[in-house]
Every structure is written in structure tokens, then in C-alpha cells.
Amino acid sequence: MRVLFVTSAYPEDRDDARGIFIQRIANGLVREGLEVVVLAPGTPSAPRRGVVEGVHVHRATYWMRARQQLATGLGGIVPNLREHPALAVQVPFLTGALARGATRLASAADVIHAHWTYPAGIAGLIAARRRRVPLVVTSHGGDLNLARGSQVLRSLSARVARAADACVAVSGDLAAQFRSLGVAQQRISVIPYGVDLVEEQHDDAPLAGSANAELLAFEGFRMMYVGSLIPRKAVETLLEAQHQLQSNGFTVGSVIVGDGPEKANLERLARARSLDHVWFVESQPPSLVPRWFSIADVLVLPSRSEGRPNIVLEAMAAGVPVVATDIPGTRELVQEGETGFLFPVGDSRALASSIERLIEAPSAARLMGKRGRDRVELEQLTTTHIAKRHIALYERLIKERRNPRVE
């Protein structure tokens, strides 16, 4: 079986974290024997085509090569547009380039799988109609969450979703959003992300060096955030919680792993609050994230909105308890009091209270981490199981296309 992925985000190399969750799906399918072709936007640095870990990756040229910046960076298209509104002129060109590339590559595909309803979903729909192959559209959250506040994007998402042969939601909340767009229940599948279980880490070499010496020597409670430093992630809530904990006499530190436009503001906040222990670490290759989890006492995710945050699943797979905002995407992963705690969006006092509970009961905190890891295994949230669920969906759609039912 040959599957064509159409996506607006896909890693350029092993050190690139953007679109890593899509890469993991693709790699899982390859390990199960499928041929996977990926079409993603061109960038100033990525080659136009190549084979990465068995996946055939093509990059659609949509602008002058050196200025193909619409889909670059960890934040993605929407944050890029907010920071540089002039990039809006590239949007129709990107959509058109993806549609042309998808139509060409779909000539030998059995299934087209578009990631996000726009712009990839639009391109996938055009190619699927021209080549008469089944179309699967997955929402990873950003598209449908943004469409809630825009009638134009909502109408666009609805049109693509209703035209697709199947819609995949990575969370139950996103499945409900598909239903609200008029997609029939029988055409919606909930297939969450998958991760690989992390073995105990003993080698701290990637963290060694003078830059991290103070961090490694720190004997207090380490709170870790991993992700983009953008407004939606609300990392300032973590720093405010640290200020309260520090004022209450707790020895705590924040390890903030990631880059983004909010970094300077967060650094200023840390200085303004006289926080003793805050380490800003540049974005890390996905392969090294488990090493960083090995020094974390808790993962904190203070986001205002999420699809189904993969970083929470990674922390669970590494046996790290999670404290996250009580929003649909995290609510489905974090079991209150079992694998971690949930707190209201923006409520730094509630976050600090949750951290206090972990500090004061270290054995309970370790048990939460173990339960999270066990849940990944018991609920079959590994890359292998998730790949098999996608394959079953593809096979069903191909069979239905070849043998249409007569109503």
C-alpha cells in the first residue's frame, strides 16, 4: 500500500521538532511495510526531495526559495502570519503548490492523508478528486481550534471535512468539533498520537558541559517545560508559580526547553520576579528530549489551548508526572491525582499548589510517573499500535472505494 501524506509541517532533519508527531506516524507505517510519501512546504534550507528513515519526502516550492518562510519555525503558519502579516501573500501560492504536488504524487497512491483541514486538507481534496483515491483528513487541533473564532476558517474546515472519506481526530474533543461541522459520526475516527516507551536513562552526556553544570548540580525540585515559546503556551504561568513557591520557602527551579518570540519576555519576567533558578535551554532534537526528562521531577504544560499535546504523552512514556492546564486536549491524557494534576488556565496559584503536593509527597509523585507510563502501555498508545489503527482505516476506505455499497 502506498500512502501520500500532505502536510504543512514535517521535520527537515533529526534535530527538527516541527511536525515530529506526523513523522512518527509516517515512520510507524513504514515499519509496518507501507510505502509512505510526504509532501510538505519548501523551506530555504531543506532539499526538494529525499528519503528520510524510509519515508520519501518531497518539498513543494511555492515562493522564491530563500523566502519560503510561511511554514517555517516551531510555531507554524498562524504565528508566522501574526508576526509578519506580509507573509499572507504566500498563502494561496502555498496551497496551490501543495495541490499541484499532491495531484502529481497521488497518481501512484492508494490513499491521500492530509494533516490539518487547511491548507493541506484543501490540497489533498483537490488531488483526491482528480485522482479518485480516498482522502483522510486529520485535525491536530490548531486548525479546528482556530476555526472556532473565524467563520471563514470554520466554513473552509467544514467543506473539507465533509468532503473527505474519513476524518481522524487525535482527541475526543476534536472528534466533537468534526461533528459540529456536519461530519457524520461513522466517518470520524479517534486515533491519538503514539510514542515509544522510554527506557531508563543513565547517560547524561548530552546535558554535560559548563552551560548545564549549575542545572545538573541543582538539588531542588525541577519543573520542566518543553515546547515553543509562543503566547498560546502561556509559559509565564509557570514562572509566576515558581515565584509563589519560592516566596513560600520551597527550593524549586524551572527548566524551559524551547525557542520562540516570547523568550525575551519570559527572561524579563524571571528577572523581575527575582527567580533564583531558571534555565532557558534552546530547542532540543527530539531524540534528546528523553535525556532531559531524566532530570525532570515534573512536566508542566500551562497552555491556553492544545489539540492532544504529544509532549504530555512523551513525559508519561518517560515516567514523569504531568501538571497541565485543564483543557480538552490534556484532560484526556492526565488523570487527576493518578498520573498528575490539572489546573485552570492562567491560575498560577493553583499550579503552585499542585507542585507543592508533589514536593511534599515524593513517593506519590514517583507513583504518578509510573502510572503514566503504564497507561501508555495498557492503552496501546505506542507508535506500533497507532500505525496499525491507521492501516486498518486505510484498508477499509480502499475496500469501500473498490466495492461501493448500493444504498
Mean pLDDT of 250-259: 95
CA distance 44 to 126: 26
pLDDT at 205: 52
pLDDT at 79: 75
Mean pLDDT of 376-396: 94
- Is the pLDDT confidence value at 183 over 50? yes
- Is the pLDDT confidence value at 359 over 50? yes
Q: What are phi and psi of 41, to 5 degrees?
A: -65, 150
- Is the pLDDT confidence value at 323 over 70? yes
Give, as one character, the DSSP assignment of residue 250: -
Residue type at position 177: Q
What's the CATH class of domain 2-194+382-402?
alpha beta
- Which residue spans within 106-160 are E strands per DSSP? 111-115, 135-139
Residue of 309, 372, 296, 376 lying closest to 338 (CA atoms): 372
Q: What are phi and psi of 195, to 5 degrees?
A: -135, 165
CA distance 33 to 49: 21
Residues 6 or more apart from 330 whose CB is under 8 A from it?
301, 303, 306, 309, 312, 322, 324, 342
Rg (CA), the chain: 21
What CA–CA distances, in Å, run from 180 to 49, 188, 226, 332? 38, 12, 32, 19
- Contact yes or no for 248/353 (Cβ under 8 A): no
- Is the pLDDT confidence value at 16 over 80? no
| Out of 35-39, 238-242, 314-318, least confident range | 314-318
Residues of the chain with CATH 3.40.50.2000: 2-194+382-402, 205-378
Give, as one character, the DSSP assignment of residue 198: P
| CATH fold of 205-378 | Rossmann fold (3.40.50)
Residue type at position 401: R
Res. 77 pLDDT band, cuts 50 70 90: confident
Res. 207 pLDDT band, cuts 50 70 90: low
CA distance 79 to 156: 19
- Contact yes or no for 138/17 (Cβ under 8 A): no
Q: Please give the residue that has the higher pLDDT: either 239 or 148.
A: 239
| Residue 207 grid coordinates | 546535558
CA distance 165 to 168: 10
- Contact yes or no for 68/62 (Cβ under 8 A): yes
pLDDT at 202: 47
Q: Exposed, middle or buried, 172 (CB in 10 Å: 0-12/13-18/19+)?
A: middle
pLDDT at 298: 98
CA distance 89 to 91: 6
Q: Please give the residue that has the higher pLDDT: either 394 or 69.
A: 394
| Out of 193-197, 228-232, 298-302, 396-400, least confident range | 193-197
CA distance 139 to 290: 26
Q: In what order do the strands lie in the sheet with 252-257?
A: 278-281, 252-257, 221-226, 298-301, 322-325, 340-343
- Contact yes or no for 346/237 (Cβ under 8 A): yes
CA distance 195 to 311: 10
Mean pLDDT of 224-245: 96
- Is the pLDDT confidence value at 208 over 60? no
Residue type at position 213: A
Res. 74 pLDDT band, cuts 50 70 90: low
